[in-house]
Amino acid sequence: MKVSHKIWIIMTVMLVAALIGVVVWLSVWLYGERMRADNARMQMEYVYENALHDSLDSVSEMENSLAKLLVSGSRAENMSIAADVYKDAAAAAEVVGRLPVDMYEHTGLQKFLNQVGDFAASYIRSAGSGADVSAYEEQFDDIHSAAAEVRRQLAEAAGRIGTDGYSVINDIDAGLNISVGVGEAVIEYPSIIYDGPFSDADNESSWKGLDGLPEISEEQALAVARDKLGIEGGKIVGISTGAAVMYEIEGTAGGADAYASVTKCGGMIASAAIGRETEGKGRLGEDEAAEKALEYAEALGYCGCLTPVWYNESGSAAVINLAPESDGIIYYPDLVKIKVSLTDGALLGAEACGYCANHCERAYPPARMTPASAEKCVSSRLTVTNVRLAVIPKGSSERLCYEVAGTYKGLDYFVYVDACDGTQVDILRVIDDEQGKLVA
């Protein structure tokens, strides 16, 4: 009996141990499964977050393109903008396709994007054939408003990412839906201005602004960097051989790291950056910063006829775009950008590739149109705020135009009208006030 009792106790202990082992193994297995599920959910969350951000970017591009159509007054320009709308809508449709289909009803976002693309393609065909396109133009406002609302809803959803406890997946599970208020209508780009009109214009492969200027040596380039930028201990770290040969220089200025690109022809400073600290209590106003920019531009060797055309403030620094002005004409291809500290007015950087590439003597026939007649060539929807003559880059050439600045439904535009024949040459839209403003 005692032996049997001991056997029973041993078997009981073994059974309990086995049960404990099973429980432990099951707990570990369940924990591992939960961890794998959590990791998979985190990865899916990351995918959806990226898709949401990309969708916002794409729809914003499309909305911006549609905004151009609101104030364009030229059929040829409308066709060009509509082509951009078509491309933007296709790109947006592809990106939002990465979002979970649960977010949309059958009349939702993807259908809207496809309709916008179809609308743009149909408009191009009709306008190209010379047909009456007034029925299309009557829809521009509604379609743009719908696109703006979609962008707002996407921005609202994307803005919640990163907030405590927010999950895109949970939002989807809760029935998140991007609605489009265009019903069953058959639905069918100004360039975005980030830092001033034509600030990102392509420079010609041949920099005519340097034609006829003598070549300088490495020692002379270092002297230019020292005398004009205060770069001490400068050394040549490379020689770039793109559209123009430039000496790439690095050193220090006032104890801060400094860099400069000096053209071999003429010894012009094409670009420079000085890593000075900009934190402090001082605060320059816009007029003071612009005056500083003009002083620095002249000291760096650019012409004395520059005038501020754009002001963009960011934190404790500002970038002021300067362009030559002669006989009342602004020359946008010759832009010089000067970055100034708003705390003490110190020079932080310069970029003058456009100036180095294009600045030369020009001869244009006098404008045959008046500012008043140019104003009549733009859409009547535009509330005009300023008109002035400007030479703008257009492809590989330049055009003398009237720059007609105006607003429509809270959006800011620049429309460029040929100063001789009144044709619309280009149209630009300012994305938001934080990007800067025209200095008229």
Q: pLDDT tens for residues 378-389? A: 988 899 999 999
Q: How far is CA 81 from CA 70, 136, 392, 401, in A?
A: 11, 14, 18, 19
User: Which helix (H) or strand (E) is 8 found in, with range?
Assistant: helix 2-71
CATH class of 371-438: alpha beta
Q: In whole angstroms, what is the distance from residue 203 CA to residue 360 CA?
A: 14
Q: Which two tokens stand for residue 87?
A: 């491309």
Q: In whole angstroms, what is the distance from residue 28 CA to residue 269 CA?
A: 66
User: Which helix (H) or strand (E) is 272 found in, with range?
Assistant: strand 269-274
CB 352 within 8 A of CB 229: no
Q: How far is CA 38 from CA 41, 42, 43, 235, 294, in A?
A: 5, 6, 9, 53, 58
Q: Which two tokens stand for residue 77?
A: 């320009």
Query: Residue 104: its pLDDT value, please?
Result: 38
Q: Which two tokens stand for residue 244?
A: 């123009």
Q: In whole angstroms, what is the distance from residue 172 CA to residue 100 CA?
A: 8
Tell me the DSSP string of 194-249.
SSSTTTTPPPPSS-GGGTTPPB--HHHHHHHHHHHH--EEEEEEEEEESSSEEEEE
Q: In whole angstroms, what is the distance from residue 222 CA to residue 262 CA?
A: 9
Contacts of 248 (CB under 8 A, 6+ apart): 236, 237, 238, 239, 240, 259, 260, 261
Q: In whole angstroms, what is the distance from residue 253 CA to residue 231 CA?
A: 5
Ordered per-residue pLDDT tens for the chain, 440 residues: 455 666 666 677 677 666 776 666 666 666 555 655 555 545 656 666 777 778 788 888 889 888 988 888 777 788 888 888 888 888 888 777 666 544 434 336 777 787 888 788 778 877 776 667 777 888 888 888 888 888 888 787 777 766 666 665 555 443 344 444 433 333 332 343 446 777 766 665 678 889 889 999 999 999 999 999 999 999 998 888 777 888 999 999 988 888 899 999 999 999 898 988 777 666 889 999 999 999 999 999 998 899 999 998 877 888 999 999 999 999 999 999 999 999 989 999 999 989 999 998 888 888 999 999 999 999 888 999 999 999 999 887 899 999 999 999 888 899 999 999 999 998 888 865 555 565 54
Q: Which two tokens stand for residue 196?
A: 């001033």
Name beta bridge partners: 314. Answer: 317
Q: In whole angstroms, what is the distance from residue 238 CA to residue 41 CA?
A: 48
Q: In whole angstroms, what is the distance from residue 31 CA to residue 414 CA?
A: 61
CB atoms within 10 A of CB 7: 10
Q: pLDDT tens for residues 185-235? A: 333 323 434 467 777 666 656 788 898 899 999 999 999 999 999 999 999
Q: In a 3-state reduction of DSSP, which class is residue 409?
A: coil
Neighbour-count burial of 280, counting CB atoms closer than 10 A to its CB (0-12 exposed, 13-18 middle, 19+ buried) = exposed
Q: b vs e for 380-407, b when ≥16 Cβ sit within 10 Å of the residue's Cβ?
A: ebbebeebbbbbbbbeeebbbbbbbbbe
Name beta bridge partners: 235. Answer: 250
Query: Residue 175: its pLDDT value, please?
Result: 38
Domain boundaries, the chain: 2-189, 208-358, 371-438
CB 118 within 8 A of CB 85: no
Q: Which long-range contacts (CB under 8 A, 24 or more apart) does 122-127 make?
A: 122/188, 123/78, 123/79, 123/82, 123/188, 124/79, 124/82, 124/83, 124/86, 127/75, 127/78, 127/79, 127/82
Q: Which two tokens stand for residue 115?
A: 């309709």
Among residues 346, 185, 344, the alpha carbon closest in space to that of 275 is found at 346
Q: In whole angstroms, what is the distance from residue 149 CA to residue 416 CA?
A: 29
Neighbour-count burial of 207, counting CB atoms closer than 10 A to its CB (0-12 exposed, 13-18 middle, 19+ buried) = buried
